[in-house]
Amino acid sequence: MGAAQDKLVDGLYGLGWAGVKKLPEPAAVALGRRIADFAWKRRGKSVLRLESNLARVVPDAGPEQLRELSQAGMRSYMRYWMESFRLPTMDPKRFGTDVEFQDEHLLREALDSGRGVVVALPHLANWDLAGAWAIGHMGAPFTTVAERLKPETLYDRFVAYRESLGMEVLPHSGGAAFGTLARRLRSGGLVCLVADRDLSASGVEVDFFGSTARMPAGPALLAQQTGAVLLPATLHYGYTPKMYGRIHPEVEVPKAGTRAEKTTAMTQAVADAFAWGIARHPEDWHMLQRLWLDDLEERTQ
């Protein structure tokens, strides 16, 4: 991406943050749907990749059902953006009414244990809204990691936005994030990580909807190294403005095996929890990139 294009992209996102949050909620919802349908009808690379990914999640779906799913998926994806642009101006009281988690007591009990908690989530529905719920409703500020975006000014906008919600945001690159996360956990803190796509090429191979994918080892390694509770969580949208989620049972560290074997087993358990949630609400899974190894290998050939 050249300097001029970087500036254009950053400017467009800046307009989104500045403009959408001023719209009445129904207008923002309608705008998001129009943008989603426009993008879906263009059948660009991201839409086709989403459709290809959904074909693995719903293997019995025919072409027409996949097209309907991908349209619903793009609408869900744009709902994420419209909500995210508006989040900093939302009344925090809404996080307790607009977001409902099944088995939220598992998170509360883990936080009360003082062991530290790692919550691992996939790209389902709105993970930023879930984070705002944890801070505003549960009273649990947390630390997370963000992928460095191009241009750098866009990354800075994302960090500033998430920090405005009360999150501590660490850059994914640089190598220092793991140590900081471990320190937060040892002091009894909360760490939330989006963990269904490996960004390091050194992740753990897991079976995911019948094929091999690679997912980050970080959540399992942090739990092993610090003694923290590892809890997968999944999300899905209801009718605007509701979002629902589930806190899944703790993924415990196996008693036997090498560190690598334990990490693989724990990461597979996290992937299984993700698959449970994605299979039930595939339209809310915002995976517009290649994920499975055979898709990644195909790109490099």
Q: Output 196 or 148, whichever has higher pLDDT.
A: 196
Residues 6+ apart with CB under 8 A from 65: 58
Band of residue 6 on the pLDDT scale cut at 50, 70, 90: low
Instruction: Output the six-digit token pair for 262.
Output: 């334990």
Distance CA 86, CA 174 (A): 30
pLDDT (mean) for 168-197 = 91
Q: What residues contact residue 98 under an 8 Å CB cut-off, 6+ apart? A: 129, 241, 242, 243
The pLDDT score that the predictor gives to residue 86 is 85
End-to-end Cα, the chain, rounded Å: 23
pLDDT tens string 247-277: 999 999 999 999 999 999 999 999 999 999 9
Give the model's pLDDT for residue 163.
Answer: 84
| pLDDT band, residue 106 (cuts 50/70/90) | very high
Q: Which of 135, 95, 75 is nearest to 111 (CA)?
A: 135
What is the amino acid identity at position 31? L
Token duo for residue 60: 């019995």
Q: What is the mean pLDDT of the chain?
A: 90
Assign 104 a pLDDT band (cuts: 50, 70, 90): very high
In this model, does residue 152 exceed pLDDT 70? no
**Residue 161: per-residue pLDDT:** 78
Give the integer Cα–Cα distance in Å for 32 and 109: 37
Q: What is the mean pLDDT of residues 155-177?
A: 79
Candidates 101, 95, 81; CA nearest to 15 is: 81
Helices 127-136 and 63-86 cross at an angle (nearest 10°) of 40
Average of pLDDT values for 131-159? 81
| Sequential DSSP letters for 52-98 | HHHHHHSTT--HHHHHHHHHHHHHHHHHHHHHHHHGGGS-GGGHHHH
pLDDT band at 96 (very low <50, low <70, confident <90, very high): confident
pLDDT, position 175:
67
Q: Tell me: the pLDDT tens digits for 53-78? A: 999 999 999 999 999 999 999 999 99
Outline where DSSP puts E strands in the chain. Answer: 99-102, 117-121, 142-146, 168-171, 190-194, 204-208, 211-215, 229-237, 243-247
Distance, in Å, from the CA atom of 271 to the CA atom of 278, rounded to the nearest integer, reads 10
Residue 159 confidence (pLDDT):
77
Report the candidate in 60, 54, 23 with the shortest Cα–Cα distance to residue 40: 54
User: Which region among 13-27, 102-116, 226-240 has the lowest average model confidence (pLDDT)?
Assistant: 13-27
Task: Tell me which of 21-30, 83-92, 104-113, 287-296 is least confident.
Answer: 83-92
Is 150 a residue whose pLDDT tops 70? Answer: no
Which residue type, as a one-letter code, is found at position 259?
R
144 near 119, Cβ under 8 Å? no
